[in-house]
C-alpha cells in the first residue's frame, strides 16, 4: 500500500479525535422527517447527562458511536469485550473507563440507561434484545441485524418493551456534508427530490480483517452490511416510507480465495416519493488517500447535490465535501463547521422517552430493505 494511503482504522480514529468536544445543533425534528431549519446552528441548550456503557468492540465504528454519545452529554462509565486484545485497545483509548467482568454486570446495573455496541454483526440483534429486555436503550453499529428473522424479533421486542433500538447509520449522522445537504433539501434548495444515487466503495485490506469478515452468515452480505447506509439515505432524502426492490445483484468478482466474501453489489429501488440506485464494493485501489471515495447524489427538480463523503480527488484535504448545482450556477459548500445532532437527540430521547434522533420505523425499514435486497439478489460471480 502506498505511504500516503489512510486505512479505515486510522481514518476513524482521526475522525474521532477531530470530533471530540464539538457542540451539536439544537433543532429536534419529528422522526422520519428532515430537519426543519435550513441553517446550522452553533447554539445548543445546556446538555443533559446520562451514564452509558459499551458491550462489543469488534468494529472500530464503536469509537465514532462513543464520541457521538459523549458530545450529546453521555458519560461512558464501563465496557465489556470478551476479546483481550480488543479490550486492551479500547482501554488504551479510554483509560479511565472501567472494564466490566461480564455482559451481565452491565445489563444488571440500574444506573446505566444506554448501551452501545459494535459487536460482530450477527451478534448485534441478540444483544440488543437482551438490552431492551433489561429496560435499557440500545445504539448499535450498522448493520443492526443480519437476517429478516432477527429483524422480526427485534421489532417485537422493541414494541413490547418500549425501548429504543437505534442503528447508527454513520454515513448520514456523522458526515457533515450529508447533514448540511439534508438541511438544504428540507429548505427547498433543489426542489422536490426525485432520486438518490449512493456509492459505498471500500478498501478490503484482507490481512487486517478478522475471521468473521470472510463469513457471510456473520457479516450478513454486502448489501446488508455496507449497503444499509445507502438505504437509510434513500429513505431520508426522498422522504419515502414505502419502497420496493426493483432489482439487486451481488457477487464475488475478484476474490475467489475468500469464498464467503461478496465484493460487489448493486440495487435499483422504487419508493413512494422517489427512486434510488445503490452500488457498494470492496475495490478501492491503494492509490486513493483514504479507505473509500463514498459519494451521494441527490437529484431534485431544480438542481442536485453531490456529496463526496471522505475525499475530494481534486486535491482538498481529507474530509466531507458538498457541491450544489442549480439554476443559478455551481458552487462548493464548506461544511467543516456543520454540527452533528444525532448524539444529543438520542440522549434526549433516552431521558424524555421521545423519538427525535431517528424514527424507529425508519431505522428498521432501512434494514428491511437492505435484507430483502440481499435475499433477492442474483449472483454474478466471475467465471472461474
Per DSSP, the residues of 158-176 read HHHH---EEEE-HHHHT-H
Average pLDDT, the chain: 90
Mean pLDDT of 335-343: 96
Between the CA of residue 36 and those of 17, 175, 187, 268, what are the distances in Å? 29, 18, 7, 29
| Structure-model confidence comparison of residues 2 and 120, the more confident one | 120
From the list 267, 330, 362, the residue with the least C-alpha distance to 34 is 362
Mean pLDDT of 119-139: 98
Q: Note the pLDDT of residue 14.
A: 45
Cis status of the peptide bond prior to 72, with omega within 30 of 0: no
pLDDT-based confidence at residue 384 (cuts at 50, 70, 90)? low
Which residues make beta-bridge pairs with 266?
249, 279
Q: Note the pLDDT of residue 21.
A: 34
pLDDT-based confidence at residue 118 (cuts at 50, 70, 90)? very high
225 occurs within a structural domain? yes
| Residue written as grid cell 452529554 | 73
Are the beta carbons of 53 and 113 closer than 8 angstroms? no
The alpha-helical segments, DSSP class H, found in the chain are 8-19, 61-71, 84-93, 103-107, 121-133, 148-161, 170-173, 176-186, 216-219, 227-238, 342-352, 360-376
pLDDT-based confidence at residue 383 (cuts at 50, 70, 90)? confident
Checking if the pLDDT of 109 tops 70, the result is yes
Which residues make beta-bridge pairs with 10?
none
From the list 180, 190, 196, the residue with the least C-alpha distance to 237 is 196
pLDDT digits (tens, 9 = 90+) for 172-211: 999 999 999 999 999 999 999 999 999 999 999 999 999 9
The dihedral formed by the CA atoms of 153, 158, 163 and 169, expressed in degrees to the nearest 10: 80
257 occurs within a structural domain? yes
**Sign of the CA dihedral running 307, 248, 168, 262:** negative
| Weakest mean pLDDT among 32-41, 356-365, 369-378 | 32-41
Edge to edge, what strands does the sheet with 274-281 contain? Answer: 329-333, 321-326, 303-308, 295-300, 193-201, 274-281, 264-271, 243-251, 378-379
Checking if the pLDDT of 28 tops 60, the result is no
Q: Note the pLDDT of residue 377.
A: 98
What is the span of the domain harbouring residue 306? 172-339+371-379
| Structure-model confidence comparison of residues 166 and 49, the more confident one | 166
103 occurs within a structural domain? no
**Sign of the CA dihedral running 319, 325, 331, 335:** negative
Mean pLDDT of 25-48: 38
From the list 316, 315, 333, the residue with the least C-alpha distance to 324 is 333
Quote the number of domains for the chain.
Answer: 1
Between the CA of residue 256 and those of 21, 49, 59, 251, 252, what are the distances in Å? 44, 49, 24, 10, 7
Q: Note the pLDDT of residue 346.
A: 98
Mean pLDDT of 270-277: 98
Q: What proportion of the chain, given as a percentage, has pLDDT over 70?
A: 88
Q: What proportion of the chain, given as a percentage, has pLDDT over 90?
A: 84
Which residues make beta-bridge pairs with 114?
52, 137
Are the beta carbons of 58 and 116 closer than 8 angstroms? no
- The conformation of residue 207, written as its DSSP 8-state character, comes to G
Q: Note the pLDDT of residue 35.
A: 31
The 3-state DSSP class for residue 109 equals coil
Checking if the pLDDT of 65 tops 80, the result is yes
Checking if the pLDDT of 317 tops 90, the result is no
pLDDT-based confidence at residue 125 (cuts at 50, 70, 90)? very high
Q: Note the pLDDT of residue 380.
A: 95
Are the beta carbons of 41 and 26 closer than 8 angstroms? yes
70 occurs within a structural domain? no
62 occurs within a structural domain? no
Task: Report how far apart the first and last C-alpha atoms of the chain are (Å, whole number).
Answer: 27
| Weakest mean pLDDT among 38-47, 93-102, 257-266 | 38-47
265 occurs within a structural domain? yes
Vertex 145 angle, CA 179 and 263, to 5° = 80
Mean pLDDT of 281-308: 96
Q: Note the pLDDT of residue 46.
A: 58
Q: Note the pLDDT of residue 381.
A: 83
Checking if the pLDDT of 30 tops 70, the result is no
- The conformation of residue 179, written as its DSSP 8-state character, comes to H
Between the CA of residue 33 and those of 42, 45, 167, 240, 291, what are the distances in Å? 21, 22, 17, 10, 31
294 occurs within a structural domain? yes
Checking if the pLDDT of 4 tops 50, the result is no
CATH number at residue 281: 3.30.360.10
Are the beta carbons of 139 and 166 closer than 8 angstroms? yes
Angle, helices 121-133 vs 148-161, to 10°: value is 20
Angle, helices 176-186 vs 227-238, to 10°: value is 20
Mean pLDDT of 96-100: 98
Mean pLDDT of 123-147: 98
283 occurs within a structural domain? yes
Compute the residue count for the chain.
Answer: 384
| Weakest mean pLDDT among 1-5, 115-119, 371-375 | 1-5
Q: Note the pLDDT of residue 29.
A: 29
Q: How far is CA 2 from the centre of its chain?
A: 28
Amino acid at each position: 500500500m502506498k505511504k500516503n494511503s489512510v486505512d479505515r482504522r486510522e481514518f476513524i480514529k482521526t475522525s474521532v479525535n477531530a470530533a471530540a468536544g464539538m457542540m451539536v445543533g439544537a433543532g429536534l425534528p419529528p422522526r422520519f422527517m428532515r430537519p426543519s431549519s435550513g441553517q446550522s446552528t452553533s447554539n445548543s441548550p445546556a446538555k443533559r447527562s446520562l451514564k452509558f456503557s459499551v458491550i462489543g468492540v469488534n468494529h472500530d465504528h464503536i469509537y465514532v458511536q462513543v464520541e457521538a454519545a459523549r458530545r450529546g452529554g453521555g458519560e461512558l462509565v464501563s465496557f465489556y469485550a470478551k476479546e483481550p486484545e480488543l479490550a486492551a485497545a479500547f482501554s488504551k483509548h479510554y483509560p479511565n473507563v472501567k472494564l466490566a467482568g461480564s455482559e451481565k454486570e452491565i445489563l444488571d446495573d440500574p444506573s446505566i440507561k444506554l448501551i452501545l455496541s459494535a459487536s460482530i454483526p450477527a451478534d448485534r440483534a441478540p444483544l440488543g434484545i437482551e438490552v431492551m429486555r433489561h429496560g435499557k436503550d440500545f445504539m448499535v453499529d450498522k448493520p443492526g441485524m443480519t437476517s429478516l428473522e432477527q429483524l422480526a424479533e427485534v421489532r417485537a421486542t422493541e414494541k413490547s418493551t418500549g425501548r429504543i433500538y437505534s442503528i447508527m447509520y454513520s454515513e448520514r449522522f456523522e458526515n457533515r456534508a450529508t447533514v448540511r445537504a439534508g438541511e438544504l433539501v428540507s429548505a427547498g434548495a433543489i426542489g422536490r427530490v426525485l432520486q438518490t444515487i449512493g456509492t459505498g466503495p471500500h478498501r478490503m485490506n484482507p490481512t487486517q480483517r478478522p475471521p468473521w469478515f470472510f463469513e457471510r452468515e456473520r457479516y450478513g452480505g454486502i448489501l446488508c452490511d455496507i449497503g444499509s447506509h445507502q438505504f437509510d439515505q434513500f429513505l431520508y432524502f426522498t422522504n419515502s416510507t414505502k419502497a420496493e426492490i426493483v432489482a439487486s445483484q451481488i457477487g464475488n468478482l475478484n476474490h475467489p480465495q475468500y469464498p464467503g466474501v461478496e465484493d460487489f453489489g448493486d440495487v435499483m429501488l422504487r419508493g413512494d416519493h422517489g427512486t434510488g440506485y445503490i452500488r457498494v464494493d470492496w475495490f478501492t485501489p491503494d492509490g486513493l488517500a483514504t479507505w473509500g471515495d463514498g459519494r451521494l447524489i441527490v437529484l431534485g427538480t431544480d438542481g442536485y447535490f453531490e456529496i463526496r463523503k471522505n475525499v475530494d480527488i481534486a486535491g482538498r484535504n481529507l474530509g466531507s465535501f458538498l457541491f450544489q448545482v442549480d439554476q443559478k450556477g455551481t458552487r462548493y459548500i464548506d461544511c467543516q463547521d456543520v454540527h452533528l445532532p444525532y448524539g444529543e437527540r438520542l440522549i434526549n430521547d433516552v431521558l424524555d422517552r421521545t423519538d427525535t434522533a431517528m424514527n424507529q420505523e425508519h431505522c428498521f425499514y432501512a434494514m428491511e430493505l437492505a435484507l430483502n435486497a440481499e435475499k433477492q439478489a442474483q449472483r454474478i460471480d466471475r467465471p472461474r
